[in-house]
Amino acid sequence: MVQSTGPKKIKCAVFISGTGSNLKSLIRFSNKKSSPISIELIISDNSKAKGLNFGKIFKISSKVFDFNNKSFSEKKIIYEIKHKDIKLICLAGFMRILSKDFIKNFKGKILNIHPSLLPKYKGLNTYQRALSNNEKYSGCTVHFVNSRLDSGKIILQKKVKISKNETPKSLAKKILIQEHKLYPKAIRKVFNL
Ligand code: GRF
């Protein structure tokens, strides 16, 4: 567990690849007085990620690394993170798999949000796979990141009921609403606040 050290907020980086709706909800959360975190850095592997706009709107420093040379990009990210004294990394729709070495550098300090009730439906296409299996429920999970995909210790989950005529799109929408509430809750849980 990461320890909170008094009233000072824990510096956090959020990694995104796309829309960044979870990033937005995390920024809103971090701006609350009672929040244990402050977001100091946004990292993206995609210069076209819509979510990068939130960096501009909320005046948070953003950096793009193309990941064509993964180990080079990761080295630069590690430098940035250590330089800024960042103690927590939140993956939020980040579509790259971080290397074992990278993860080792931040053991127990990287969280991810995934749109299924893990350990079910690791990886991609979670909505379609849940529907094809006639699941009654799906949902979302916040977990610690380890070197195996979507397999780290679960922090919190939220169940979502699958309706009769559910489509992958409608299910994704329902789950996303819950993701925005679950990620902040999970962060509070990690820091015992
Ligand atoms: C979310 O469904 C998240 O669970 C998954 O990628 C999606 C990101 O959405 N890992 P957004 O970019 O936060 O809107």
Range of the domain at 108: 10-190
Residue 146 pLDDT greater than 50, yes or no:
yes
- Closest atom of ligand 1 to CA, residue 140: 4
Please indicate whether residue 176, judged by its CB atom, sits closer than 6 Å to ligand 1.
yes
Residue 178 lies in a domain: yes
Residue 7 pLDDT greater than 90, yes or no:
no
Parallel, antiparallel, or unpaired: how do β-strands 10-16 and 154-161 relate?
Answer: unpaired
- Closest atom of ligand 1 to CA, residue 50: 12
Tokens representing 84 are: 């800024």
| Span 108-129, average pLDDT | 98
In degrees to the nearest 10, what's the CA dihedral of 16, 20, 25, 26?
20
State percent of the chain over pLDDT 90.
95
Residue 2 lies in a domain: no
Q: How many CB atoms lie within 10 A of CB 173?
A: 11
Of 86, 92, 85, the C-alpha closest to 112 is 92
**For the chain, first and last CA: distance in Å?**
12
Residue 83 lies in a domain: yes
Q: What CATH number is given to the structural domain containing 159?
A: 3.40.50.170
CA–CA separation, 140 vs 115, rounded Å?
Answer: 4
**E-state strands within 57-165:** 61-64, 88-91, 110-114, 137-144, 154-161
Residue whose structure tokens are 């559910």: 166
Residue 186 lies in a domain: yes
Q: Whose CA is nearest to atom 14 of ligand 1?
A: 21
Number of domains making up the chain: 1
Please indicate whether residue 19, judged by its CB atom, sits closer than 6 Å to ligand 1.
yes
State percent of the chain over pLDDT 70.
96
Residue 1 pLDDT greater than 70, yes or no:
no
Residue 15 pLDDT greater than 70, yes or no:
yes
Sheet-wide strand order for 37-44: 61-64, 37-44, 10-16, 88-91, 110-114, 137-144, 154-161
What's the pLDDT tens digit per position in 158-175?
Answer: 999 999 999 999 999 999
Q: Do the Cβ atoms of 165 and 189 come closer than 8 Å? A: no
What's the pLDDT tens digit per position in 56-103?
Answer: 999 999 999 999 999 999 999 999 999 999 999 999 999 999 999 999
Where is pLDDT greater, at 1 or 131?
131
What's the pLDDT tens digit per position in 22-34?
Answer: 999 999 999 999 9
pLDDT (0 to 100) of residue 113: 98
Residue 4 lies in a domain: no
Residue 50 pLDDT greater than 80, yes or no:
yes
Residue 1 lies in a domain: no
Amino acid at 80: E
Residue 4 pLDDT greater than 60, yes or no:
no
Residue 5 lies in a domain: no
pLDDT (0 to 100) of residue 5: 47
| Span 116-122, average pLDDT | 98
Instruction: Grade residue 6 by pLDDT with cuts at 50, 70 and 90.
Output: low
Residue 73 lies in a domain: yes
pLDDT (0 to 100) of residue 59: 98
In degrees to the nearest 10, what's the CA dihedral of 63, 68, 72, 75?
40
Please indicate whether residue 178, judged by its CB atom, sits closer than 6 Å to ligand 1.
no
Of 27, 42, 40, 45, the C-alpha closest to 85 is 40
Of 145, 97, 137, the C-alpha closest to 121 is 137
pLDDT (0 to 100) of residue 104: 96
